[in-house]
C-alpha cells in the first residue's frame, strides 16, 4: 500500500505541474489577465511548497518527493512572475502621469 501511495503521489505531483501549463499560457498570451493574479496568495503557496521541498529532502530524505514539489514551486514562481510583471507595468505607467 505504501508503494502504491508513493507512486500515486509522484504521478499526482507531476500532473499538478502539468496542469499549471494552460494557466501559464493564458497569462503569457493575455496581459490583462495578469492583473488578476493575487501576489499574496501565490507567494503564500510558494512558501508552503518550499517548506514541502525542504521537508521532503531533509526529513523524508526523498529526492523524488523533493523534485516533484520543486517542479510545482517553479510553476508557481512563473505565475507569480507574471503577476509581478503586470504590477510593475501598472506602477511604472501610473508614475509617469
pLDDT (tens, 9 = 90+) of the chain, 97 residues, equals 988 988 888 889 889 999 999 999 999 999 999 999 999 999 999 999 999 999 999 999 999 889 999 999 999 999 999 999 999 977 877 665 5
The domain of 63 spans: 38-97
16, part of any domain:
no
Contact assessment for residue 44 and residue 79, using Cβ atoms and an 8 Å cutoff:
no
The pTM (predicted TM-score) of the whole model is: 0.86
Query: Has residue 65 been placed in a domain?
Result: yes
Count of structural domains, the chain: 1
Question: For residue 5, is it within any domain?
Answer: no
d(CA 61, CA 34): 37
Question: What is the per-residue pLDDT for 9?
Answer: 84
Distances, alpha carbon 17 to alpha carbons 11, 27, 87, 94, in Å: 10, 16, 25, 35
Q: Is residue 42 part of a domain?
A: yes
| 14 occurs within a structural domain | no
Instruction: For residues 68 and 9, give the distance between their C-alpha atoms in angstroms, rounded to a whole number.
Output: 9
pLDDT of residue 52: 96
The SS3 call for residue 95 is: helix
User: Domain for residue 55, yes or no?
Assistant: yes
Query: What is the rounded CA–CA span in Å between residue 52 and residue 9?
Result: 13
Yes or no: say if 38 and 83 are a contact pair by the CB < 8 Å rule. yes
pLDDT at position 95 is 61
Amino acid at each position: 500500500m505504501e508503494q502504491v501511495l508513493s507512486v500515486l503521489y509522484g504521478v499526482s505531483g507531476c500532473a499538478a505541474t502539468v496542469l499549471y501549463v494552460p494557466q501559464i499560457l493564458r497569462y503569457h498570451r493575455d496581459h490583462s489577465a495578469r492583473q488578476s493574479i493575487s501576489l499574496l496568495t501565490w507567494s503564500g503557496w510558494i512558501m508552503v511548497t518550499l517548506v514541502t521541498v525542504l521537508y521532503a529532502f531533509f526529513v523524508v530524505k526523498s529526492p523524488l518527493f523533493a523534485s516533484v514539489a520543486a517542479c510545482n514551486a517553479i510553476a508557481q514562481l512563473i505565475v507569480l512572475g507574471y503577476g509581478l510583471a503586470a504590477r510593475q507595468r501598472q506602477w511604472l505607467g501610473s508614475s509617469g502621469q
